[in-house]
Structures are given as structure tokens and as C-alpha cells.
Amino acid sequence: MSTRELMETNRFEDLWLGGRMSRRQAKKVLASYGIGMAAMPMLGGGARAAEEQAMMFTWAGYEEPAFNQHYFDTYGAWPNFSFFADEEEAFNKMRAGFAPDVMLPCSYKVPLWHEAELLAPVDTSLLTNWPDLLPPLKDIPGTVIGGEHYFVPQKWGITGLMVRTDLAPELADPANQSWGIMWDEAYAGRLGHFDSINDNVVIAAVYAGVADPFNMTDAEIAEVKDLLARQIPLLRMMASSVTDLSQALASGELVASVAWNSMSAHAVEAAAETGSGAELQWVNPREGVLTWVCGLTIHASAKERGMYEKAHVLIDSFISPEAGVFETTNWLYGHSNARVYDLIDDGTLQAAGLSRDVDGYLNNGIFLEPMPNEDKVAAMWEEVKAGF
């Protein structure tokens, strides 16, 4: 199957399983490929039931039952899922016409998505868990527009570095713990990174000492571009998966990698599975870690498609204390529901590198904000990546 055919097949499945295509339309499309409707159960099974359920558009992993149990208990069926590798991919896919019901971006994407008319306001009165959410997370700048909430916080955490101190013992010294590790030619070919504007570009801007990494001048963008172009040849991999980077650290393929705080447990687990004896350490670069909050939004078309209420039930499921306990203990992200912290101990929080003082925790880092000139920054990043 060609790449184009694969993309068309994936789009067809998204439309069909998400209830965005009528049976009559589906028959017409399938007929053009010489396929009958009898083949439809192959595309996920239970297509009729899938048509009636809300669709979540998010990173892989959130199909885990712990996040969706309340939705299942309410409707007797699981929601549908479609996955993206990063938020830029999600944004472009929705601008091209894909219409899920609930999406899970980070807070800094809300103004851009709202400006593109992709979001509907959230009716917080329909969320039974809203009163239990941590107050500092409810009104993040850029997420309340015209007095209406367009974002429901769900998880929070930090971006720093993971290093192999057995392979590079000098990195255990706080004097050497800097974002500059990612530009150190001594580790050429053994560095890992995420493929994301808000990791790659912002980290480079912070390392360069840019006064405001989220609102750079043209000269500053050019400076950051040069810095990123210098970094590209040093990288072993750019990944969208925590698993890929964790396994590469555990195997010794990488000496250091940009990491979300959840990677500390994933990398240790991967090292234990391989028996590599890897010595891993989390590093807070002296220039400052990045802090962030991600959460849930509703697509602008959900109401007209009769999915607005189900979208709220799905959001409520994701912000339940049960979902939060799973996320914090298994994935090591902080959760937005305050009741979660009555159900887990300090040892669990410490192992995740988290704190009960969420406001202080987020403010002690560089909180990711929207970029008014994101299109220009994104174009620059794509040019740099072309050299990878």
C-alpha cells in the first residue's frame, strides 16, 4: 500500500469509527475500492456502536481503562480513540477537516486552537469533578476566553534531562548540569530529544539566554535557528515516544536525553528489563526546567453532532480521582484532581519528582506559554529538521 493510500485508509477509519461518515457515504467510498459493507467489522469491530460514542484525539496510552471507566459506566461502551504524535500534527489534521470530540493538548496551544475556531467552550457545571480540581490550574492564562473556559486541566509535570552517570560520570556533578549538555560535542551521536517546538525551540532559546522564549524577535529566532542547526548533527534520535528514549538510555545508545519527568521511571524499568546495570539520574538544568499543564478541550463541532454531553462525560472520566491515581502512580505525572493527593503517599510523589505544592512547583520552572508568532517559529523548526 502506498503512503497516500495508507493516509486515505487512516482518514476513512477515523471518519467511520468516529461517526463522521454516514453508512451511505461509507458504502460509496468502499465501492470505489471494490469493498462491500460486510468488510466493515474489520475496521475496529462494532462500527455501529462506535458511531454513537465520543472520540478522544490524544497521545497513545490514554485508551487505558482507568481513564475511561466513568464513561463506560455511563454509556456501557468505551469511547473511540484517534492518536497524534504531537500537537502540531493534531492541529494540522483538524484544520484539514478531522473533527474529534475531545482533544488533549497542553495549555499553551489553547489560544492558537481557539483562534482557528476549533474549540467549543466547556460547561464546567456538567463536570462533577470540576470542584475538586486544583485552583491554580483552573484559570491558566490563555485558557479562559471571554469569561468561558476552553480548557480543563488534567496533568502537569516538568521537562529536564536524563543522563547515564555510569557512562558519563562528569554529568553527576551539578556544575555540569546544563542544557548545554545537548550541544556538547563530547556526546555527539549519543544524545536524544523529543520532536516538538515546545521542547526543541524553547530549550534552545532558554540556553541562548533569550529574554522571552515565547515571543522572540526575528533576530532571536535566527539566533535560535543557528543553535538548533548546530545541535542536529549531534543527535542520535528525535522521538515522539517516551518509550523509545527510555529504552535507548537503558541500552547505552544514549548518554543523555531531554526527558519528561515520567521518563525517570520508564528508563529505570527498561534498564532493569535489560539487566544493563545502567545508572540513571534526573537532571534539573541550571538554566531552568520547563513546566507545563496539559488538559482537555472540546471540538467546535461536537454540539451540532450531538456529542457535547458525551464529551463532558469523557472529560469528567479523565479528571476523576481514580484516573489521577493511575496516572500519578504509573506514569508519574501530576494530576489536576486534588483528591488524588489524599490517596497517594509522599514517597510516590518524590519518586515522580512531584510536589503537593503545585503552584510553587510550576512557578519554579519556566512555564510553557503560547507563542504569538508560532507559525514563523514552526516554519523555522521545519527548516532545521530538514537537516536531521
Which pLDDT score is estimated for 198?
85
Q: What is the DSSP string of 50-117?
A: HHTS-EEEE-TTTTSHHHHHHHHHHHSSPPEEEE-SSHHHHHHHHHTT---SEE--BGGGHHHHHHTT
Which pLDDT score is estimated for 174?
95
Gap between the Cα atoms of 2 and 20, Å rounded: 24
Closest CA to 257 of 335, 193, 198: 193
Q: Are strands 256-260 and 191-194 parallel, antiparallel or unpaired?
A: parallel
Task: Give me the tens of pLDDT residue by residue for the chain, a chain 388 residues long.
Answer: 333 333 344 444 444 444 444 444 444 455 554 444 333 333 444 444 567 999 999 998 899 999 999 999 999 999 999 999 889 899 999 999 999 999 999 999 999 999 999 999 999 999 999 999 999 999 999 999 999 999 999 999 999 999 999 999 999 999 999 999 999 999 999 999 998 888 999 999 999 999 999 999 999 999 999 999 999 999 999 987 788 999 999 999 999 999 998 887 778 888 888 787 889 999 999 999 999 999 999 999 999 999 999 999 999 999 999 999 999 998 889 999 999 999 998 888 887 778 888 888 888 899 999 999 999 999 999 999 988 6
Q: CA separation (Å) from 242 to 9, 64, 209, 351, 379?
A: 27, 16, 27, 17, 25
Which pLDDT score is estimated for 49?
58
Q: How far is CA 327 from the centre of its chain?
A: 14
Residue listed under C-alpha cell 469533578:
129
Long-range contacts (CB closer than 8 Å, 24 or more residues apart) made by 383-386: 383/225, 384/225, 384/228, 384/229, 384/232, 385/195, 385/232, 385/238
Phi/psi for 56 (5° steps) reads -100, 130
Which pLDDT score is estimated for 240?
78
Contact by Cβ (8 Å): 115, 337: no
* Beta-ladder partners of 148: 145
Gap between the Cα atoms of 239 and 146, Å rounded: 37
* Numbered ranges of CATH 3.40.190.10 in the chain: 53-150+292-364, 156-289+368-385
Contact by Cβ (8 Å): 57, 84: yes
Which pLDDT score is estimated for 302?
98
For the domain 156-289+368-385, what is the CATH code? 3.40.190.10
Which pLDDT score is estimated for 139?
95
Using only C-alpha atoms, the chain has a radius of gyration, in whole angstroms, of 22
For the domain 53-150+292-364, what is the CATH code? 3.40.190.10
pTM: 0.82
Gap between the Cα atoms of 278 and 276, Å rounded: 5
